[in-house]
Structure 1
Amino acid sequence: MDAYGYPHELEYRREVDDGRVHEYTELVDDMGFVLEHRSDRYEGWTVRYGTACAYDYLFRKRARPGTFVVSVYRLFPGRRDHVVTVRVNWPPKKSRVHPSEKPRAGRR
């Protein structure tokens, strides 16, 4: 385990007119952002996981509909490292199955 745990900060900004308004900040101790170790898949994983975390949080907050820009930071003593920034529409339009979760051709 990491000596400091896995603290992350997620900042939620709603897009309005010509700018962004900070609406929420979520502090979590979440290992999920560091689970993918293959560098060629890390970016895709952080986008996917960050989007899932954002939908979960916005649902729990009963957020107003709109477009949010969500920035994720890993917290360390004395520094804050950017992990990923995603744009999400809330509420989500229609649930889609991610390509990695679809059965392969010929397999059921």
Structure 2
Amino acid sequence: MICCLKIYHPTVTTLTKCKMLRFMFKDYPLQIEVISKNAVLIYVWDVPKKEVWQAFINFESTNVITGYGFSEEKAEARLIAEAMVIKLLSMRNKRQKHPLVF
């Protein structure tokens, strides 16, 4: 099984994101892609889901938008992770437009 994590944050550098991801998944085969200055993708093979969920919680608790996907194919895992990031970004943007929602 392949896991894809997409990390998005406008002010954290891609180098910092890559170093954090390498440290978190140092025991597993991985591949990192820098998509833009705001986003990084990581593919990890044969990682337990609980470790991915823990990484997701760690990033989200520090306001780093994170999406993840699991699949047998890289492309499908990436689509799932990107869809999650888009959904989280749209939810955060709606909160900014409506000040009564906390």
Same fold (TM over 0.5): no
Name which structure has the greater RCO, CA cutoff 8 Å, separation 6+. 2
State TM-score, norm by structure 2.
0.35
State TM-score, norm by structure 1.
0.34
Counting strand residues as a fraction of each chain, which structure ranks higher? 1
Greater C-alpha radius of gyration:
1
